[in-house]
């Protein structure tokens, strides 16, 4: 018998939550503690309403009956997608401007293909476009330019579609200085639904791919100068964290930089990395 609220919304039982959370951890490495139950419930309730399904067990049966079909992928996207914003953890972008980019320009500016950056959990694109703006602003002030390429990857195909579109509600860019907004974003003409798009001229150096960091990274460039993998390791257990970071290191040049989230740590992991700042590491071997 399914449980509902006074307004008729379906409730997710603890048993059903643990079944789906165990499945997500087994197949995607992402841990969902019981504190995430309300989030999962709220996100999936929208699908129950849209499909006119009466209970969570019935919904899960429907999603899994398709194999890895449309509803299965939508379910995984809703459960695994996390918050992001422009210039989150600004100290990282300061370090990029003050240390990494000058170092690359001075020592490696003639490297084939130029600077190569990977945003390994790029979500809806705010991180990757923050990196792009940081690089463009640095190059604007330099006499000697260098080319660059940025790859954005994510587990969720749906959020990657949003990232490719590069369109955001205007309130998502409120905190960005006006001069930067005018330079890099085009405002929509619809003032009732104000949105902003990253200008097309700045998108030529950006590419996106759907990637599960726990699976084979076949086809991913192995010589990145910079990798951002922020605020995703916290959803993995310690063994999976090590597995993911070890794999990232295989795709990072010696002398390249790895940025992780402010609540994440690589302490006591046997990795070819040296910490140069909190949550910033340099590959040393």
Average pLDDT score over the chain: 90
CATH code, domain with 72: 1.10.155.10
Q: Are residues 202 and 223 located together in one domain of the fold?
A: yes
Q: What is the mean pLDDT of residues 169-190?
A: 93
Give the total number of structural domains in the chain: 2
Quick check: is 2 in a domain? no
Q: Are residues 69 and 112 located together in one domain of the fold?
A: no
Q: What is the mean pLDDT of residues 35-63?
A: 93
pLDDT digits (tens, 9 = 90+) for 111-155: 667 999 999 999 999 999 999 999 999 999 987 789 999 999 998
Quick check: is 192 in a domain? yes
Q: Are residues 135 and 239 located together in one domain of the fold?
A: yes
Q: Are residues 71 and 125 located together in one domain of the fold?
A: no
Q: Are residues 231 and 198 located together in one domain of the fold?
A: yes
Quick check: is 6 in a domain? no
pLDDT at 78 over 90: no
Q: Are residues 158 and 124 located together in one domain of the fold?
A: yes
The confidence score (pLDDT) of residue 226 equals 98
Quick check: is 174 in a domain? yes
CATH code, domain with 110: 3.40.50.150
Q: Are residues 75 and 157 located together in one domain of the fold?
A: no
Identify the band that residue 1 occupies on the pLDDT scale cut at 50, 70 and 90: very low
User: What residues make up the domain containing 229?
Assistant: 90-283
Non-local CB neighbours of 29 within 8 Å, separated by 6+ positions: 213, 214, 235, 236, 237, 240, 244
Q: Are residues 271 and 192 located together in one domain of the fold?
A: yes
Three-state SS for the chain is: CCCECCCCCECCCHHHHHHHHHHHHHHHCCCCCHHHHHHHHHHHHHHHHHHCCCCHHHHHHHHHHCCCCHHHHHHHHHHHCCCCCCCCCHHHHHHHHHHHHHHHHHHCCCCCCCEEEEECCCCCCHHHHHHHHHHHHHHHCCCCCCCEEEEEEECCHHHHHHHHHCEEEHHHHCCCCHHHHHHHEEECCCCCCCEEEECHHHCCCEEEEECCCCCCCCCCCCCEEEEEECCCHHHCCHHHHHHHHHHHHHCEEEEEEEEECCCCCCCCCCCCEEEEECCEEEECC
Poorest-pLDDT segment among 35-44, 157-166, 186-195: 186-195
CB-CB contact of 172 with 195 (8 Å): no
Q: Are residues 58 and 102 located together in one domain of the fold?
A: no
Q: Are residues 57 and 146 located together in one domain of the fold?
A: no
pTM beyond 0.95, yes or no:
no
Q: What is the mean pLDDT of residues 202-224?
A: 90
Q: What is the mean pLDDT of residues 162-177?
A: 93
Quick check: is 1 in a domain? no
The confidence score (pLDDT) of residue 31 equals 86
Q: Are residues 97 and 72 located together in one domain of the fold?
A: no
Which two three-digit tokens encode residue 91?
A: 């100290």
């Amino acid at each position: 018998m399914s449980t509902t609220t006074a307004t008729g919304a379906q409730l997710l039982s603890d048993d059903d939550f643990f079944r789906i959370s165990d499945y997500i951890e087994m197949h995607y490495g992402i841990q969902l503690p019981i504190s995430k139950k309300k989030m999962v419930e709220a996100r999936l309730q929208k699908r129950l309403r849209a499909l006119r399904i009466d209970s969570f067990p019935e919904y899960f049966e429907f999603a899994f009956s398709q194999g890895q079909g449309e509803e299965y992928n939508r379910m995984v996207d809703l459960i695994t997608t996390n918050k992001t914003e422009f210039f989150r953890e600004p100290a990282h972008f300061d370090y990029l401007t003050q240390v990494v980019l000058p170092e690359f320009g001075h020592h490696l500016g003639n490297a084939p293909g130029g600077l190569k950056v990977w945003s390994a959990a790029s979500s809806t694109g705010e991180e990757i476009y923050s990196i792009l703006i940081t690089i463009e602003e640095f190059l604007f002030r330099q006499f000697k330019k260098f080319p660059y390429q940025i790859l954005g990857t994510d587990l969720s195909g749906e959020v990657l579609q949003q990232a490719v579109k590069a369109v955001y509600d205007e309130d998502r860019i409120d905190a960005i200085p006006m001069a930067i907004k005018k330079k890099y974003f085009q405002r929509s003409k619809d003032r009732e639904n104000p949105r902003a798009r990253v200008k097309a001229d700045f998108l030529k150096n950006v590419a996106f791919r759907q990637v599960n960091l726990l699976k084979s990274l076949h086809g991913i460039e192995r010589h990145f100068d910079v990798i951002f993998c922020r605020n995703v390791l916290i959803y993995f257990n310690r063994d999976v964290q090590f597995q993911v970071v070890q794999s990232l290191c295989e795709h990072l040049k010696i002398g390249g930089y790895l940025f992780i989230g402010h609540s994440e740590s690589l302490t006591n992991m046997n990795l070819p990395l040296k910490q140069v700042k909190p949550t910033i590491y340099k590959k040393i071997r």
